[in-house]
Structure formats: structure tokens, C-alpha cells
Amino acid sequence: MRLPTRSVLLAAATTALVASATTAYAVSPGAVGRDAPAKAGVTAYGWTVTPTGTTERFRGLAPVSRDVAWVSGTKGTVLRTTDGGRTWGDVSPQGLGTAALEFRDIEAFDARHAVLLSIGEGEDSRILVTDDGGATWTESFRNTDPAAFYDCMAFSSPRRGLAMSDPVDGRFRLVQTSDGGRSWTPVDPAGMPAAQAGEFAFAASGTCLSSGVDGRTYLVSGGVDPARVFTSTDHGRTWTVADSPVAGGASAGIFSVSFRDARRGVIVGGDFAAPTGAVDNAAWTADGGRTWTKSTTNPSGYRSGSAWVPRTARTVLAVGPSGSDVSTDGGRTWSTFDTGSFDSVECTHDGACWASGEQGRVGVLTR
């Protein structure tokens, strides 16, 4: 998407940098599901914010474990931690003319291998890869079509991944890699349904494109009402599309999609121009995305990122500039547990959940 300007999004945010703090709030009993402790009746969640030493905005987030995480953001900035966020190293690409680029998505597989996406019109959309922990980066893709604007990436394995652009010639455009991001080739557009007039994706958290299990991939859109969800079951070769209950418009739609398994998924979004709006901004599915049901209780504002909490059956997080929400019933109802600003949230296989956003803010979930 020809994304919201940085000034608009900064003005929409409601919090400044918190250098290092822990906040916790109780989820209201009405929102507690099977994942909450039955005896207590509530579940406490909060963020421990780790000092990164910068005020850049980190929309790109790629946690690998409790110890290892990468973030990427404004002014060509990339940071990495290997000690759970206690310290961060600047591993930004050097000498590649990237200092002014917006790094909106990063995918990492360990402490050494990461793939980085910058967004923008024409040649500002680029992909870089590192195999030495960010000491050196290699440019592996540069968009040369002035009509294309790349928004998000998704990897189903350390070698296999996709990157997506807003529609070109009437369809969302995809490129694919089978060597961990070191080379990219176009995906045949014949398998992609036609985009509607004015339809696009939001490069807000790197999760407008998401990989699921068994070759499933999901793509979400905005700009049209209702916003739509595209689903592929063959690694992006062919797609189906479904309307959602999430309202769309010039600055509104679905910003993030996340699936727990082949059937259960959530979408979140809203209107970035109205960051505290809480109408028709989330929905859930139990049939793999064929149909979507809007949440009974919505997140309390525009939300740009979502992630399922590991080792739970139905717990999922959503974050945005006005706060963080949790659902313990698979997206049917949501409760706010933090009012700080985040753009992205991701969880790891060993149970850690990380969030990142403006003013260098990165947090680790406590529960």
C-alpha cells in the first residue's frame, strides 16, 4: 500500500517510549475462556519493555526464541538481541544505499540467517539477506516495476517463502524463494483472483501475508468494503478469496492475519486514521478461512499485528498504537491489557511472545 505517512501514524499513537517497565492488567472475567486458570477466573498479561537505545519505529519483528530476536524499521535500521532483549546490537545494512529505506518486514530463522524487506514504490521495494548475524547483507531482490509496491513476506520454512506486492495489472503480485531468500522468481499470476478497484494491502507489521500449516498461506486486504481474505493451500500457486466482516476503506481494512492451525484463524485491523475506533475491526474463522464471523467484543482500537500464544488452545494477541488486547476464545471476544503503543507481535516455538513499535519500543510478554 502507498502507506500512511510516518507523521500520520505518529500522531495517531497515544504513548511515548517506556525505557524499561513491566505492566500487567487483569483480563475481565467475561473474556476468560478455557485457556484461563479456572480457579483465579482471570489471566494477567503484560509487557516487559526492553531498552533498545534508539527511537526508530520497528514495524518489522522476527523473534526466534526467548533469547534471539530481530527488529527492523525506519532509516534503514536493524537491531538484534541474543540475550532476551537485555542488550541490542545494531546490525543495519551498510554500504548498500539503504539508510533512508523503510524496513517493514523481517523474517529470521536463527541468530545468523534473516531476510529483510524494505517497502516503497519502484526500487525502494527491496529484499536483503544475511547469513552472518547481520555483519554483512546481500541484496537479493530489487523491484523494477514502478507500479509495484511490496508490503509483506511470509516463510513456511527457512528456505521457502513469498513476498507480495499491491495489485499490478489487476492482481496481487507475488515473488517466491526456495533458497532462504537468496534468490527470487515471479509466481504465475494466473492463480490469483482479480483484485477489486482500489484494493491493496497494508505494510504495517509484516503480517498482511502469513504462512500456516501444510502449505497454507493467507493474504489480507483493505481499501475496499468489506475487506477480503485470500487463501492458498499450495504455497501460493492458486488462491481463493472470501469477504470478511471487517470494514474497509481508504485507510481501513485488515492489517494482520494469523492462524493457529488449518482451521482456526483471526484477522484484525480497523482504520489507522481513527486509532481508537473499535467497530468491525476483528473476526475469526473455524473453517480455514472459507467464512469469517465478526468478534462479539472487539479490540479497543485499530490493530496492526496479531499472534497466537504458544501452548494455549485459543489465546491470541492483537496490538496497535492505542494498546494491546488478548482473546482467550479464539478471537470471539477481546479484552485490553495494555495501553502502550506497539505495531507488531510475534510468538516463538519455545513460548515467548515479543512486540515492537514506535520510539524504539520492544517488549516481551509476561503472563
**Residue 323: which CATH number?**
2.130.10.10
DSSP element (H, E) containing 12: helix 6-12
8 A C-beta contact, residue 146 and residue 152: no
Provide CB contacts within 8 A for 97, sequence distance 6+.
none
Question: Would you state the cell numbers that stand for residue 293, as one nine-digit string?
Answer: 464471523
Q: How many CA atoms lie within 13 A of 273 on its CB side?
A: 10
Which position has the grid cell 480497523? 270
Domain extent, residue 54, equals: 6-366
Structurally, the chain folds into a number of domains equal to: 1
- Tens digit of pLDDT per residue, the chain (367 long)? 544 433 333 333 333 333 333 333 233 322 323 333 333 334 689 999 999 999 999 999 999 999 999 999 999 999 999 999 999 999 999 999 999 999 999 999 999 999 999 999 999 999 999 999 999 999 999 999 999 999 999 999 999 999 999 999 999 999 999 999 999 999 999 999 999 999 999 999 999 999 999 999 999 999 999 999 999 999 999 999 999 999 999 999 999 999 999 999 999 999 999 999 999 999 999 999 999 999 999 999 999 999 999 999 999 999 999 999 999 999 999 999 999 999 999 999 999 999 999 999 999 999 8
Which residues, listed in sequence order, are joined to residue 44 by a DSSP beta bridge? 26
Evaluate whether residue 222 is within a structural domain: yes
Work out whether the CA dihedral 287, 288, 292, 297 comes out positive or negative. positive
- Give the C-alpha separation, 355 to 307, whole Å: 10
Evaluate whether residue 1 is within a structural domain: no
**CB-based burial, 218-227: b 16+ in 10 Å, e otherwise:** bbbbbbbbbb
Evaluate whether residue 243 is within a structural domain: yes
Q: How many CA atoms lie within 13 A of 35 on its CB side?
A: 21
